[in-house]
Structure 1
Amino acid sequence: MENLIQYFPGYDIRKNVRLADYTNTRVGGPADWAFWPKTIAQVKTVIEELHASDRALPITVLGNASNLIITDDGLRGLVIFLTDLAEIQVVEQTITASAGAAIIDVARVAQQNGLTGLEWAAGIPGSVGGAVYMNAGAYGGQVDSVVSTIEVLTRTGEIKSITNADLAFAYRHSAVQETGDIILSATFALELGDKAAIDAMMEDFNTRRASKQPLEFPSCGSVFKRPVGYFAGKLIMDADLQGYTIGGAQVSTKHAGFIVNRGTASATDYIQVIRHVQQVVAEKYGVTLETEVRILGEQ
């Protein structure tokens, strides 16, 4: 597969793509190849062809690349960005959204149609696929409470539907993390609500986010999972790590659970800050901070 552009004529495939241009952290090395499919049929064709090839490439599937860090060495093989697959459909009290749709847009569509259940997603910057993959949540809500089914493409090219019960949802976990299936869409089962109450709740959540989170800087969102019995941000703050900086990556002075790019950060800076925070918190409090953010690429 020396030249994917010739192998898949007419597809939006590019060579040696700078991934920092597409991540929320604004860091990350190059991808050998990047692909922006316009249809599910295009995704299926590429996956089937590469699976059948005796020179198959590593494949990484991304949406908005919001809750991840890509290393400075980048990603080998093919990176598939699903952001052009962003259709959102409403049928009575359900919303079906393509994997590349922003979860915040799905929440807005629910709001416009007087449907309640997705207010918590009003300010989450990730895609539908990413939200399902990691069972995203905020302010007491989670994906697992509203998703009824998802549609996936297996790595052999089969399209199938998976129900909520078979997704093994847990805190920041879904079964897709083990299967490697590519999420194509998700259907959300919502309830009719009072539109004024929905509007007020979403406005409240967005106001709280703006006041507490460092939205003025690039970041990967919440870096660490919540340890049982603790709050990661408070542990980091109590360890006097707010403002700790390596290169251009800094533990946010506004919210200790975030690491921001002050403008010149590399992925290595980010990873070194993460490791230092984990080490100090473990030494001071005996608590292991597990990353919520995904780190992709060689370290």
Structure 2
Amino acid sequence: MDHANYTWTQTFILAGFTTTGTLRPIAFLGTLCIYLLTLAGNLFIIILVQTDSGLSTPMYFFISVLSLLELWYVSTTVPTLLRTLLCGPSPISPTVCFLQLYVFHSLGMTECYLLSIMALDRYLAICHPLHYHSLMNRQVQLWLAGSTWVVGFTAALVPASLTATLPFCLNDVAHYFCDLVPLMRLSCVDTNWHAHVHGAVIGVATGCNFVLILVLYGGILIAVLKLPTAASCAKAFSTCSSHMTVVALFYASAFTVYVSSPGSQPKGTDKLIALVYALLTPFLNPIIYTLRNKEVKEAVKRISNRMKIILWETS
């Protein structure tokens, strides 16, 4: 393809959200509060899992890895959102733009794989309890967690590199961060082939992992229904409810934006839906995994009592 006759843009402009007057500071402060609470909540889970021996299980190890991912994930896009809310449309260099695109999609695909690993963990714990600790030993946990990051960051190279090689004649990005669909709308050339490749790569990452999660939870459902008492069934389901809630939030928004064709959504819809998986889901994850979890509440009590003893001894 000959790109010699095209004008290449030197700077992209992130349009963000059109907020004016009193709405702009309110939107900025609200987003900033959610961002800070998201950072605090996910840091709290990581520290709690690392410091309390009662949470030294595979399930909580993977939850802490998810929290680490969410810290990076939310910090990839929210600072640019805050800047556009505060200052209006903001310039961003192509290098930073494509780096943001790559990191954002790397983390998104990593989360897809991590959520399926967490479903596998619950499947082994419920369906193979006698062999669970030997199958999910520390070495296996580290290998599984590490592989999700390697695969996620490798798979994201395809859509990011293809988008970065496009010639861009326009520079107004109708989004608050650099994402695939808004960037492809700015290209000088037809992007249908690129859209098909992006859909295939992201579709495989989301679709295959989602199917795997459904299969694993199907196995869990069959095993749980065989349990002798209703109390046993309720206890088994309670260990999965938080994960199922997170999966539903993440995949519903991801499928809406990335698996559908780029032209099927009204302009501007993608950035509204992006708020769900890029800001709301990382914010809700710590709440979902703590407020509905008796073991986490007990760990918080143990840490609090330990801190009281330390303060009493030092006073």
Q: TM-score band, normalised by the shorter chain?
A: under 0.3
The structure whose RCO (Cα within 8 Å, separation 6+) is larger is 2
**TM score, norm. by length of structure 2:** 0.26
Structure number with higher strand proportion: 1
Which is higher, the Rg of structure 1 or of structure 2? 2
**TM score, norm. by length of structure 1:** 0.27
Structure number with higher helix proportion: 2
